[in-house]
Structure 1
Amino acid sequence: MGIRILVIEDEANIADFLVRGLGEEGFNVEHLADGVAAWSALRSESWDLVLLDWWLPGLDGLSLLRKFRERDRQTPVLFLTARDNVQNRVQGLDSGADDYLCKPYDFDELLARVRALIRRRDNANGLVLSYRDVAVDVPAQRAEREGQPLDLTAKELALLTFFVRNPERVLSRTRIFEHVWGGGVDGPSKTLDVHVMELRRKLEAHGPRLIHTFRGRGYLFGTPPESEPGEGR
């Protein structure tokens, strides 16, 4: 599964900028515009990073952060707000934020902070995924097979990470789109097929086939059961 980021921001233009920009960097990004809906999502789902605005309808960002920290002290939270005086920064950090960035901000700086927070979290968790001779170092955003580095795009890496987390089972196209692209794709899209083809080619440069196609069902990462019908290339 790719890195999941929840953007909690009520200004539509800023939210759209964040969702598009982070999505282009390979992150799975979801957006909510009010504190009450955000609190429900924080309680019911798992996130790798939260980007949080201070001023929100329903429940303000500071109150939301304090409630969240009562039940989750691990998920990193980056405050994004126009409140830029020292007292506000201290208040935000003391309430549980891991970082604080004032508006307006440069996207490259935001991206650097996002990556740093994810690395810090994953380094603390020691998150290196593996299956047979394939390893994915999530903090470093690197993958290898048989000890050889794989030159993967952000989406190919997210796809491989999802496969490694779910080996030996047929994963439907819908499920893959939801977890790697952050939602469904309408119509007969070839996006997934192209990414699987490229990922398969790069993996097979260092070993036998691991990604198997099951027509009408999806893809399996690993060794398919001999009795499974409908396997194709």
Structure 2
Amino acid sequence: MIHILIIEDEPGIYNFLKQGLEEEGYEITIAVNGKQGIDFFESSKPDIVLLDWMLPKISGIEVCKAIREKDSETPILFLTAKDTIQETIEGLQFGANDYIKKPFSFEELLERIKIHFRNKKRQNILALGNISLNTNTYEVKMDSSDIALTQREFELLEYLIRNKGNVCRRDEIIDKVWGINFEYDTGVIDVFINAIRKKLNLDKKNGYIKTVRGVGYIANE
């Protein structure tokens, strides 16, 4: 049974989610503040986390950071009324997999959860020049040096490498990497591309990842 940890302080919301998700066959644990959420994550090892942004004691962002320091794979979905592009970027940069604005429909939430549990057959090692990615361990190497990427940075780089030699449009990247059609400015992708280039020391014009002005990006050797 898939175990979902809900970290939310509003009884009306977490009771609604608990009832609906249990009826769908999920096992549910509720944490009503950030500290409790971190403790419950460590003790119960959930399969997915539904995380409110504004929480008592420890904010949702801090909870997300704390989880990602210990776990890079468990999907984290923010449930929040915050909806500016800056806040979206902040949440995703700290390791969230998704960002669902309140109010949302229960059907939408169910679909997002299913998306993040899709089984994908992935080959183990991908390469782009002297860059290698291990898709099982999330390890990235450049020559013999380890490179630390966030989960989302890794998945974006993986998508570009899997489509090596082809132009990847911004809307396609949002759909395939984030798994949804974001309502936000696709400029969020540029932030992640710049972070990847910086960590891999890639030149913007002559590196492996090139910008196709007005369209998207292409990975090439």
Instruction: Tell me the TM-score normalized by structure 2.
Output: 0.54
Please list, as runs of the form range in 1=range in 2, the aligned pairs for 1:1-233 lying within 5 A after superposition: 2-119=1-118, 122-123=119-120
- Could you tell me how far 1:125 is from its partner in structure 2? 8.9
* Structure 1 residues 55 and 125: CA distance shift in structure 2, 3 A: farther
1:85 is displaced (CA, Å) by 1.0
The residue type paired with residue 66 of structure 1 is: K
1:15/1:106 Cα in 2 relative to 1: closer, same or farther (>3 Å)? same
CA RMSD in angstroms, aligned pairs only = 1.6
Identify the residue that residue 226 of structure 1 maps to in structure 2. none
Local SS of the residue matching 2:64: helix
- Could you list the runs of 4 or more consecutive aligned residues of structure 1 that deviate by over 6 angstroms after TM superposition? none
Q: Which has the larger radius of gyration?
A: 1
Classify the secondary structure of the residue corresponding to 2:72. coil
- Number of aligned residues: 123
Give the residue type in structure 1 aligned to 2:7: I
Q: Distance in 1 between matches of 2:29 and 2:39?
A: 13
Q: CA deviation at 1:46?
A: 1.3
Seen in structure 2, the aligned counterparts of structure 1 residues 83 and 18 have a Cα distance that, compared at 3 Å, is same
Seen in structure 2, the aligned counterparts of structure 1 residues 124 and 76 have a Cα distance that, compared at 3 Å, is: farther
1:173 paired residue number: none
Q: How many angstroms apart in 2 are the aligned matches of 1:91 and 1:41?
A: 24
Q: Deviations over 1:100-152 (max 9, x none)?
A: 00000011111100111122xx43699xxxxxxxxxxxxxxxxxxxxxxxxxx
Matched residues in 2 for 1:7 and 1:45: separation? 12
Identity %: 42
Per the TM alignment, residue 58 of structure 1 is displaced from its structure 2 partner at its CA by 1.2
Supply the distance in 2 between the matched residues of 1:124 and 1:54 (Cα, whole angstroms): 32
- Extract unaligned runs of 5+ from structure 2: 124-221
Instruction: Give the aligned residue type for 1:123.
Output: K
What do residues 42-100 of structure 1 show as CA deviations (whole Å, max 9, x unaligned)?
A: 12221110000001111110001011101100100000000011111111011100000
2:164 aligned residue: none
Distance 1:113 1:87 in 2: 22
Unaligned runs of 5+ residues in structure 1 are 127-233
Give the secondary-structure state (helix, strand or coil) at the position aligned to 2:120.
helix
**Alignment partner, residue 151 of structure 2:** none
* 1:118 counterpart SS class: coil
Cα offset, 1:5, TM superposition: 0.2
* Inter-CA distance 124–44: structure 2 relative to 1 (3 Å threshold): farther
- Equivalent in the alignment of 1:132: none
Q: TM-score, normalised by structure 1?
A: 0.51
Mapped to 1, the partners of 2:99 and 2:64 lie a distance apart of 13
CA distance in 2, matches of 1:15, 1:51: 10
